[in-house]
Amino acid sequence: MREISVRPCTRSLLRFVCCVLFCVALSTLALASSLSPRGTKYEQHVAKKNSNWFQRTVMALGREGVLFREPVHEEITNRIYGCGDKEFCDDPEVEFAGPFILAGVRWNDDPPFQLQAGEGQHTSCKATETIRFTTQPICWYQLFKAASRKAASGDIPDAYNHAPLLARSHFGDLQFLHAMASQDGEAAAETQRRVMMWAEFAWKVALGEYALDTPLADVDVAGFDDFFGKSGWTVQDLFTVGNPALRPHITEVAFGSILHTVEDSFAKGHAQREQNAAAAACPALRQLPAPARIVEFHSYSHQDSHKHAGFDTHAAFEQESLADKPDVVLVGKPLRDFFQRRASWDTVKPYLECVFAVADPKTKASPGAEFAAE
């Protein structure tokens, strides 16, 4: 049998076709929200150093929006920090908020993590290296799809089955990072409790009350132990594993994570807020306007990803989020001011309770009528 040889140009063409087909598959993926996949300068450097041609191409197409679509979170955050020109506020390089707050905003969607021994078999994952979309995009995609399939079958990724952070934050017990319920049927009061738990922890990191070397098992926030107490991690491991450049700026990273959760709560695929609610002030902070109360926190596991993604775009942000009074940008600005003046958690807590107020604590989570998979 004669051996078939492939010319170099033909091999290049095949590689390109395979890459395009892979990226088309990626384009069907809808994250819990839209952001830029670029990561920090340090992560881009690591990715360039370690990635092969295939990964570099995937990242290049990802930067063009094939996977992560539109950098809406960066736009909202930059507007909170004073960007007024909508022509470039959505450019991740226009860093009104600064690179480290934006890194924190991105963290919720793309938290860095490492696999334990024996995990990640039958994937392209390098278990000894930190996993983020920027550094291991193919591995990231494989783990994301595996988590999606499990969640759809009722297997909820959580702390007790040692699921990766990526799976837990998008399909499991950490969906509160996106102002969403962990599964259908979860009471609004429970999701609200988890959101406030995370906000308290992250705010105390933002103030420096919990340092980089603080073990998560030592965090004194009610309920926190159920999600991170058995991990064996420190604050540094949770927020900055594999990225030492972020560590001197951990306070900004933690604050950015809080902003992400607040921003997501105004996206209709995440939560349904009351319509045409009468303007009111926050009960404990009469000088600050109260946003419409949350009617229902949605759960992502049984949502149609395309329907969800339709409300995580610039157009939806302009038409829906900014139509609310106060809108997500106006809600974020007091938080910015609280952070800049290093306000205590006791000062900030009443405002976040106002932001995440629910209409009926007993309302059960669902995919949402507009977003349910058929």
Closest listed residue to residue 292, CA positions, set 335, 363, 229, 356: 356
Question: Which bin fits 154, alpha (ψ -120 to 50), beta or left (φ > 0)?
Answer: left
Q: How high is the pLDDT of residue 15?
A: 46
Lowest mean pLDDT among 115-124, 171-180, 222-231, 290-299: 115-124
User: To the nearest whole number, what is the mean pLDDT of the chain?
Assistant: 82
The confidence score (pLDDT) of residue 137 equals 82
Beta strands of 231-352 (E only): which ranges?
A: 271-273, 280-282, 285-290, 294-297
Number of C-alpha atoms within 13 angstroms, CB side, residue 235? 24
Identity at 172, one-letter amino acid code: G
335 vs 95, higher pLDDT: 335
Question: Side-chain half-sphere of 244: how many Cα atoms within 13 Å?
Answer: 0
Q: Please tell me the least confidently modeled range out of 23-37, 196-210, 260-274, 330-344.
A: 23-37
Quick one: pLDDT at residue 237? 96
Q: Is the pLDDT of residue 287 over 90?
A: yes
Predicted confidence (pLDDT) at residue 353 exceeds the cutoff of 60: yes
Distance CA 21, CA 16 (A): 9
Residues 81, 89: Cα–Cα separation, whole Å? 10
CA distance 12 to 25: 20
| C-beta of residue 363 within 8 angstroms of C-beta of residue 295 | yes
Q: Is it the case that residue 340 has pLDDT exceeding 70?
A: yes
Q: What percent of the chain has pLDDT over 90?
A: 48
* Residue 359 vs residue 47, higher pLDDT: 359
Residue-level pLDDT at 119: 78
**Inter-residue contact 287 to 358 (CB < 8 Å):** no
If you average pLDDT over each of 52-56, 232-236, 367-371, which comes out highest?
232-236
Which range scores top for mean pLDDT: 46-50, 235-239, 264-268?
Answer: 235-239
Supply the pLDDT for residue 32.
42
C-alpha–C-alpha distance, residues 120 and 305, integer Å: 24
Task: Report how many helices (DSSP H) and strands (DSSP E) the chain contains, helices first.
Answer: 14, 4
Q: What is the pLDDT of residue 56?
A: 57
CB 175 within 8 A of CB 181: yes
User: C-alpha distances in angstroms, 270 versus 93, 206, 256, 285, 309?
Assistant: 27, 25, 18, 26, 10
- The pTM of the full predicted model, rounded to 2 decimals, is 0.84
- pLDDT tops 80 at residue 90: no
Which of residues 318 and 246 earns the better pLDDT score? 246
The confidence score (pLDDT) of residue 26 equals 46
Q: Are 324 and 292 in contact (CB under 8 A)?
A: yes
The span from the first CA to the last CA of the chain, in angstroms, equals 50
> Which one has a higher pLDDT value, 157 or 58?
157
Which amino acid makes up residue 197? M
Distance (Å, rounded) from C-alpha 108 to C-alpha 261? 8
33-43 residue pLDDT tens: 455 555 666 66
CB 353 within 8 A of CB 292: no
